[in-house]
């Protein structure tokens, strides 16, 4: 990535901020719901990520935009079903010598959480269900070419202004191209966040992946600041942050990365 492109992304976000109207006390509650992966809130996040130092020569870079709609469905008075989709749109260069450039969509990860409407007596909010890997990648270097499935679960507490907990999934491949590596990965996302009365949220998490096939860790740690506000008649959240790769998978990104996020919110 050129420095000019990174600056352009940051400038674009900063120019958007003044047109947002910061208001209502409801924004604080919405900000807290955004910290809850199984909240009863329809949201459509657009998460832009930039990473570099990819490949054996550390000369590759990747722009990754995750489109992540979250749709809660009320099953009855006691249970919700939450659909969480991650559709990656990728632009990458030189991820290994001779790889060239690729642009397109990656593999979709689709999760379904069955979640009780009410927290437990001790205040924990729980959810669990299946997760699926769909080989939707538009390029051989943007897909695992495998169908996968496994369990996913989340547990969190919201105590005053604080939200903390963790999300987990494990995916095994069960079909796909025989000449591609099997998928056998564990994903762990511990998180903690603090939301102010003015609907600003400071969050810290790790998006850790362990590949059991090659016994390889990827451990990026993310710090992000976001704000709920009104853009015209639309409720949105916008934010930015940095991450650092404590451990990288073989040929994966190293050092610092950048994250920008813009989320459309549709309160009931």
**Domain map of the chain by residue range?**
3-266
Residue in 4, 49, 5, 107 with CA at minimum distance from that of residue 242: 49
Residue in 108, 147, 150 with CA at minimum distance from that of residue 130: 150
Residue 11 phi/psi, 5° resolution?
-65, -40
Residue in 146, 149, 148 with CA at minimum distance from that of residue 176: 146
User: What is residue 40's predicted lDDT score, i.e. its pLDDT?
Assistant: 87
CATH classification for the domain delimited by 3-266, as one of 2.40.160.40, 3.90.550.10, 2.130.10.10, 3.40.50.2020: 2.40.160.40
Helix residue ranges per DSSP H, the chain? 3-16, 26-34
Please, what is the end-to-end C-alpha distance for the chain in angstroms? 40
- Residues 141-182: tens digit of each pLDDT: 999 999 999 999 999 999 999 999 999 999 999 999 999 999
Confidence check: pLDDT of 76 > 80? yes
CA atoms within 13 A on the CB side of 38: 31
140 pLDDT band, cuts 50/70/90, is very high
The answer to whether residues 30 and 235 touch, using CB atoms and an 8 Å cutoff, is yes
- pLDDT, mean over the chain: 91
Higher pLDDT residue, 203 or 18?
203
Higher pLDDT residue, 36 or 7?
36
Lowest mean pLDDT among 30-39, 40-49, 254-263: 30-39
- Residues 17-31: tens digit of each pLDDT: 444 545 456 888 999
Q: What tokens appear for 241 in the block?
A: 């942050």
DSSP letter for 11, please: H
């Amino acid at each position: 990535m050129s420095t000019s492109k990174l600056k352009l992304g940051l400038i674009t976000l900063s120019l958007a901020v003044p047109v947002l109207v910061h208001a209502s006390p409801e924004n604080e509650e919405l900000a807290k719901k955004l910290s809850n992966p199984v909240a009863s809130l329809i949201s459509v996040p657009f998460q832009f990520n930039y990473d570099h130092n990819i490949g054996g020569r550390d000369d590759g870079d990747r722009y990754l935009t995750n489109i992540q709609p979250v749709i809660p469905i009320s099953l009855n008075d006691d249970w919700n079903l939450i659909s969480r989709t991650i559709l990656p749109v990728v632009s990458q260069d030189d991820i290994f010598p001779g790889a060239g450039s690729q642009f397109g969509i990656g593999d979709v990860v689709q999760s379904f959480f069955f979640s009780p409407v009410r927290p437990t007596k001790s205040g924990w909010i729980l959810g669990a269900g299946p997760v699926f890997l769909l080989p939707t990648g538009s390029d051989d270097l943007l897909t695992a070419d495998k169908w996968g499935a496994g369990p996913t679960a989340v547990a969190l507490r919201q105590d005053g202004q604080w939200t903390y907990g963790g999300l987990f999934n494990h995916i095994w491949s069960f079909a796909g191209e025989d000449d591609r590596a099997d998928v056998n990965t564990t994903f762990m996302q511990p998180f903690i966040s603090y939301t102010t009365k003015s609907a600003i949220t400071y969050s810290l998490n790790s998006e850790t992946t362990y590949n059991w096939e090659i016994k390889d860790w990827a451990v990026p740690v993310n710090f992000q600041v976001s704000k709920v506000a009104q853009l015209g008649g639309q409720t949105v959240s916008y934010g930015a942050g940095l991450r650092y790769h404590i451990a990288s998978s073989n040929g994966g990104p190293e050092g610092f990365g950048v994250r920008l996020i813009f989320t459309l919110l549709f309160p009931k």
